[in-house]
Chain A
Amino acid sequence: MEQLKLFSGQVRRHLLTILIANNLVIFVGWWMGQRWFNLDFNSLFISLLIVALIDSILFSLTSTYILTKPIKLVAQAILHISPDEGGVAAPEQSATSLGKDMVSKLCNEIYRIANVAQTVSADNAAAMPDLRTNFIANRLPLPLIVLSKKLDIIFANEAALKYLRYSAEDITGKSVYSALDLSFTTTDTFDTWYSQAKTNSVAADHFWRRVRLKLADQKTPVLFDLAAYYNKDNSSGYEILLTMFDHTHEYSQDEQAMNFVALAVHELRTPLTLLRGYIDALDEELSNQLSSEQADFLKKMEASAQQLSAFVSNILNVSRVDNDQLLFKLSKEDWADIVTAAANDMSLQAQLRGIKLTLQIQPNLPPVGVDRVTVYEVLINLLDNAIKYSDKSKEIIIKSSLTKDGFVETTVQDFGIGVPEAIMTNLFDKFYRSHRNVLRVGGTGLGLYLSKAIISGHGGNIWVRSKEGQGSAFSFTVLPFSRLADEQKNKDNGDIIRSAHGWIKNHSYYRR
């Protein structure tokens, strides 16, 4: 720096002058003492000592003042812009005899940096005016995102930008919904939490597990736990803080396990298709030639193969529930149509045991909002159970009606062995079956667990009323489509994505 060299030269010349002047004073004093005052050696020595002491003090005082003046001015400039040192006036840059240029250059540099910092914090956030907060936020080893009241991203720290592979310009100022494609495992999404928090609380926090985010530049998503802090009308403008805890590795291992199940299911289904196909062909070819016993055997083979294929689908869905991947697409459907189809499909199994399926469907039920495929499985599971546990009774009643509070309620009632009271509460858990029935009844104990997950995902309830020896009534509710539609005023298509534990697109609720 040119000005620094200039200043060094000035300091050198100053010190040289001072030292020469100092020596000159002592030398002149000695000459004058001898020549004019005729002092003897002792008096001369003491006088010179005093003179040397005084002028050293004088010279050092003036030098200190002159040499430290530039540093003082620069320090004053720094204190002037520092937010914690209010009231320090700006330095008068020409008030120094040495290093005027340097002082002026350094002061201007300091003001420029301060200006940049001010502009940066103004851009980055009205919310982040304090340079030290910014510093801490940027060195925080966790991704941190700050949202304004309008849910615009006003700040993302360096860890967040690195994790999301964005540059600050990519996301700053954008709505969190358009910048971050977040998916949650339950209906408890960021959005539902925020809408509640802002109406009910001044400050709130929340934690979500297994949140999924699709990165802009990548096909594979990142998976993390998400923590949020909400502060109503925060004076500094930062309404919401979001922090992410990455678990991509461990959560995607679960997904791989899931993929294995999907593969196994596919491999099982191919031979099953053939098994059912050839039984079907045999049945067609031989139906007129078989004795009644042989025909019965064939029917039993057919029913077992059908049961196996239903079970294989159940395995897959249970694994999806366990891995938070069961996704429902709720569409407008005719409920009577679905119930009738399920009853027809189970009529073969029922016939084999001499059981009559009776349908009692209230006419003119409103259209329901269901995922046809999965809700059909619930009906099949309940009917399958009812048939298995019917024992000697010969009738199963399937009732559907509209309840007073506007749900469509369906009950599958059998008159068989019933459920012992002791296990009623655990009935919807995985692998729970009445131990007393294990020997008499086959099955996997997955059906009710899965049914509960599916019905909960539809926004309904499932429950059982049962008495040992008198039979069981399993009931569940689903919502009319109109009610789901009310729930989702901002939906942009006819379908609604919901899940038991599946992924829910945050922005399918709110697309702006």
Chain B
Amino acid sequence: MDENQTNTPMPRRRVLCIEDEHFIGELYQRALTKGGYDTTIEIDGKKGLQLAQTGNYDIILLDLMVPTITGIEILRSLRDPKQTPNLKAKIIITTNLEQRDEIRDDIERHADGYIIKAEITPRELVKFLDNIS
């Protein structure tokens, strides 16, 4: 296994992680920073949406259960051209919640990736992002 090998993409890509579980945010920030990403953690849903809409990020990691508004609402707003024109960022759902069929459709239509957090380690997450162009 090549776990210790870290790819450093040039230039550094920017990740916004909307995640309310403090320790998970901490672990992801640590691994992503080491893996060569500029990382911002935001625990609040509404603020997370505003940050995402600035267009300053290449990748958005989106938890589905965050305070103030749900991850699905954030996802819909980001994919609605009226609310968020020209969003170039890739959106990856990171959750531990099993999806009901209604929102599974939304996720499949709007998100670029879907990760169950319990099934991936922080370093595997970095590798996952490295493979997203």
Contact = CB atoms under 8 A, between A and B. Distances in A.
Interface of A: 262, 265-266, 268-270, 272-274, 276-281, 284, 287, 302, 309-310, 312-313, 316, 327, 329, 347-348, 351, 503
B83 interface: no
Contacts of B122: 277, 280-281
Task: List the 9 closest pairs (A to B, CB-CB), nearest first.
Answer: A269-B96, A269-B118, A277-B27, A280-B121, A309-B118, A273-B117, A272-B118, A273-B118, A262-B98
Given A270-B21, A309-B118, A278 B27 contact: yes
Contacts of B24: 270, 273-274, 277
B123 A280 contact: yes
19 contacts: A265-B98, A268-B118, A270-B24, A270-B117, A273-B118, A274-B21, A276-B118, A276-B121, A277-B23, A277-B27, A280-B27, A280-B31, A280-B123, A281-B27, A284-B123, A302-B121, A313-B118, A348-B1, A351-B1
B97 A266 contact: yes
A241 B76 CA distance: 43
A334 to B, nearest CB: 15
Given A281-B31, A313-B116, A270 B121 contact: no
Contacts of A272: 118
Contacts of B31: 280-281
A309 B119 contact: yes
A273 B28 CA distance: 11
A316 B97 CA distance: 11
B121 A313 contact: no
Contact of A273 (B30, B34, B96): B96
B107 to A, nearest CB: 11
Contacts of A310: 119
Interface of B: 1, 4, 21, 23-24, 27-28, 30-31, 34, 96-98, 101, 108, 116-119, 121-123
A281 B30 contact: yes
B27 A270 contact: no
Contacts of B34: 284
Interface centre among A270, A277, A347 (most CB of B within 10 A): A277
Contacts of A281: 27, 30-31, 122
A287 B4 CA distance: 9
A269 B1 contact: no
A316 B21 CA distance: 22
B75 to A, nearest CB: 18
Contact of B98 (A273, A316, A351): A316
Given A265-B98, A266-B97, A503-B101, 19 more contacts: A262-B97, A268-B118, A269-B96, A269-B118, A270-B21, A270-B24, A274-B23, A276-B118, A277-B23, A277-B27, A279-B121, A280-B31, A281-B30, A281-B31, A281-B122, A284-B4, A310-B119, A329-B108, A348-B1
A351 B118 CA distance: 22
A347 B1 contact: yes
Contacts of A270: 21, 24, 96, 117-118
Considering residues B30, B31, B122, which has the most beta carbons from chain A within 10 angstroms of its beta carbon? B122
A154 B122 CA distance: 60
Contacts of A348: 1
A309 B115 CA distance: 13
A95 B122 CA distance: 101
Nearest to A495: B108
Given A265-B98, A280-B123, A312 B30 contact: no
Contact of B119 (A266, A302, A313, A327): A313
**From B21, B27, B96, residue with most partner A Cβ within 10 Å:** B96
